[in-house]
Amino acid sequence: MADTLKVLGQLAPSATTDTTLYTVPSITSTTTSSLVICNRSAGALTYRVAVRPLGAAIANKHYIYYNKTLAANESFAAILGMTLDSADVVTVYASSGDLSFTLFGVETDQT
């Protein structure tokens, strides 16, 4: 079982669209360490973050942040420590195309 520290995903999603930031590869488990969200605009924006076990269709129960406001030209860093299994998906949503998301963590090969 080998551990790989890495940037799990980086994304500047289109506005108002649920977008996959990261999907756990097969035969792998992942522990996230942190999620950083950056507002690159001159105005406040909102975002959502959801975790979808086994890639399930998005549902209210999956959200860990929902319509959270991020001030202009600010960043938010969350220390998450989430444990994810194969095929789990981290999904993000932004009120504008001016938000960037970066997820950091460790992938563990289960072979």
5-58 pLDDT, tens digit per residue, is: 999 999 999 999 999 999 999 999 999 999 999 999 999 999 999 999 999 999
At 111, is the pLDDT very low, low, confident or very high (cuts 50, 70, 90)?
confident
Residue reference for tokens 């195309």? 97
| Beta-sheet strands, E only, within the chain | 3-11, 19-23, 28-39, 45-52, 63-70, 75-79, 83-84, 89-94, 99-109
How many CB atoms sit inside 10 A of residue 104's CB?
Answer: 17
Question: How confident is the model at residue 85, as a pLDDT?
Answer: 97
d(CA 38, CA 77): 9
At 105, is the pLDDT very low, low, confident or very high (cuts 50, 70, 90)?
very high
Angle at 93 between CA 22 and CA 51, to 5 degrees: 45
